[in-house]
Chains A and B, each alone.
Chain A
Amino acid sequence: MSLREKLASGKFVVTAEVGPPKGVDIEEMKKNAELLKDRVDAVNITDQQSSVMRIGSLAGAHLVKQWGLEPVFQMTCRDRNRLALQSDLLNAYVMGIENVLCLTGDHVALGDHPDAKPVFDLDSVSLLAAIKGLEQGRDLGGKELAGSPRFFSGASVTPCAEPLEPQIIKMEKKVKAGAQFFQTQAVYEPRQFETFMQSVKHLNVPVLVGIVLLRSAAMARFMNTNVAGIFVPDALIEEMDKAEKKAAKGIEIAARLITEMKDMCQGVHIMAIGMEDRVPAILDAAGL
């Protein structure tokens, strides 16, 4: 069953993340993919995450598919104009890639090529609309296609953003433009997530709650000051601080968050950021 079919059938789905390497040595990426295989329903392939130049998400998704996993092809609007984005969508389809996650993308100023020309010709909303157009046999120039693709397109949302209303307005627009599922930014506060899910109930779209695995209290503090839309409560930071075995504690907290939020949403998206080997332990502890 594909991700689309699983979500349609009401199964609680699990997705994780694989980041392609900077360079052409794909051994570790393959190792991480293999660890996740048979444990997750699909893996997201990040698109030059944090604007750091590396192997792209299209090649990454293709590899992961060859290795027997179902990819979610992440697409940002940072590096490609509307020609390149639409062309890559056609490329993905002929490679058998069905799931696409449409993102705005970080600004190039945040990455390792800060002098690059930022593109942002389309945005996450118009990229979703472009996909819908391609599916209906037309590109953004209004020209007809010889054979149209079909995708399962998703988008992201930040449930703990402050204020929340602009996020919800944009989420509504994404649904209007064609988003069929959402993966969220990391959530550490189940109560806040519950409020968020209440306010988007009318959209009737599957939401996979985002979990970012904690490595240490310092990492949590860093995210609180520097990462948009992430807030780790003091109690959790203290728990990490006091724990002797940080790795085990991080896994325990992740599993606990999943258990607490499982009934509020349709799936979980685990971002292990370099600690992919700990994902199976999280899933074991969460009973997934």
Chain B
Amino acid sequence: MLVSEMKPLEEVLGYLDGEGKVFIVGCKGCAEVCQTGGEPQVLEMKQTLEQQGKTITGYTVIDFLCDKALTKLRLKAHEDEVMAADSLLVMTCGIGVQATAAVVDKVVHPACNTINLGGARGEWRGSERCRECGDCLLDMTGGICPLTACSKSLINGPCGGAKNGKCEVEPEVRDCGWHLIYERLKKLNRLDKMREVLPPKAYSKMEPPKHLRSTIMWALEQDEKEEAVR
């Protein structure tokens, strides 16, 4: 289970700046439970973006976006709509965004921040990892998480330690995350993203919010209660 929350709309619109056509992806797993990427939220986003003058080439809500094989299969069914879009907007946790980015040769934007659960784990992920940092950077990095793909969690580009595309830590098994990011951005013609100087990360956002500190079910119940009060 991963808990996600919507990014502020301005941030998402900023990502989509200059892109007229968007394909939206939701998830029936955690994101549906969190009410960030279930069918109702996807439809709401579609409407919001259309009001902003965007064309939505299509949308899909997949059972478990973190199941990459499934995601690839399901997106295949929407190939024309996906290819017609300038980019994909993925309304899920960081794993779902990375899984999508891994299976389509398109710019992929995160619509959510993944909130830290303090270590709770357990979904279908492949090589993609999310540290639930609370302030997703995947837009800058071609849909590859710099916090988990880079051994030093560097956010401003590679260190000098990569050799032949491998990380200085366990080069036998580990690719240099920044080499992957560079290759992906280059392919997408988005190397400009790598040129932006990012400020130090706000690690305070990586702490689980107080109300989510206990078990997941507890957290969800708390969320529901608070929702009812509001």
Task: Tell me, in angstroms, the Cα distance from A165 to B179 when the chains sit together.
Answer: 11
Partner of B160, one of A122, A126, A161: A161
Judge whether B156 and A173 touch: CB under 8 Å: yes
Judge whether B161 and A107 touch: CB under 8 Å: yes
Judge whether B158 and A170 touch: CB under 8 Å: yes
* Nearest B residue (CB) for A107: B169
A10 to chain B, nearest CB (A): 28
Q: Flag whether A162 is at the interface (Cβ < 8 A).
A: yes
Judge whether B203 and A123 touch: CB under 8 Å: no
B4 to chain A, nearest CB (A): 25
**Residues of A contacting B59 in the complex (Cβ-Cβ under 8 angstroms):** none
**Residues of A contacting B197 in the complex (Cβ-Cβ under 8 angstroms):** 125-126, 129, 173, 176-177
Mark out the residues of chain B between 192 and 215 whose CB falls within 8 Å of any chain A CB in the assembled complex. 194-195, 197-200, 203
Mark out the residues of chain B between 38 and 55 whose CB falls within 8 Å of any chain A CB in the assembled complex. none
Judge whether A110 and B169 touch: CB under 8 Å: yes
Q: Flag whether A180 is at the interface (Cβ < 8 A).
A: no
**Residues of B contacting A162 in the complex (Cβ-Cβ under 8 angstroms):** 164
Judge whether A104 and B182 touch: CB under 8 Å: no
Query: When A106-B161, A163-B182 are in contact, do A126 and B168 touch as well, CB less than 8 Å?
Result: no
Q: Flag whether B152 is at the interface (Cβ < 8 A).
A: yes
* Nearest B residue (CB) for A125: B156
Judge whether A170 and B156 touch: CB under 8 Å: yes
Query: When A121-B203, A122-B200 are in contact, do A170 and B169 touch as well, CB less than 8 Å?
Result: no
* Nearest A residue (CB) for B154: A123
The count of chain A contact residues (Cβ–Cβ below 8 Å) is: 38
Q: Flag whether B60 is at the interface (Cβ < 8 A).
A: no
**Residues of B contacting A121 in the complex (Cβ-Cβ under 8 angstroms):** 200, 203
Q: Which of B155, B169, B198, B200 neighbours the largest number of chain A CB atoms within 10 Å of its CB?
A: B200
Judge whether B203 and A166 touch: CB under 8 Å: no
Task: Tell me, in angstroms, the Cα distance from A95 to B73 when the chains sit together.
Answer: 63
Partner of B178, one of A118, A158, A166: A166
Judge whether B160 and A158 touch: CB under 8 Å: yes
Task: Tell me, in angstroms, the Cα distance from A161 to B152 when the chains sit together.
Answer: 19
B217 to chain A, nearest CB (A): 31
**Residues of A contacting B194 in the complex (Cβ-Cβ under 8 angstroms):** 166, 169
Q: Flag whether B29 is at the interface (Cβ < 8 A).
A: no
Known A104-B160, A105-B159, A123-B152; 19 more pairs at CB < 8 Å: A104-B152, A104-B154, A120-B153, A120-B154, A124-B156, A125-B197, A126-B198, A129-B199, A130-B200, A140-B200, A169-B157, A169-B195, A170-B157, A172-B195, A173-B195, A177-B197, A227-B163, A228-B160, A228-B162
Binding site for A on B (CB under 8 A): 151-164, 168-170, 178-179, 182, 186, 191, 194-195, 197-200, 203
Binding site for B on A (CB under 8 A): 82, 104-107, 109-110, 118, 120-126, 129-130, 140, 156-158, 161-163, 165-167, 169-170, 172-173, 176-177, 185, 226-229
Q: Which 10 A-B pairs have the closest CB atoms?
A: A170-B157, A125-B156, A104-B159, A228-B163, A120-B152, A166-B182, A109-B169, A158-B160, A107-B169, A126-B200
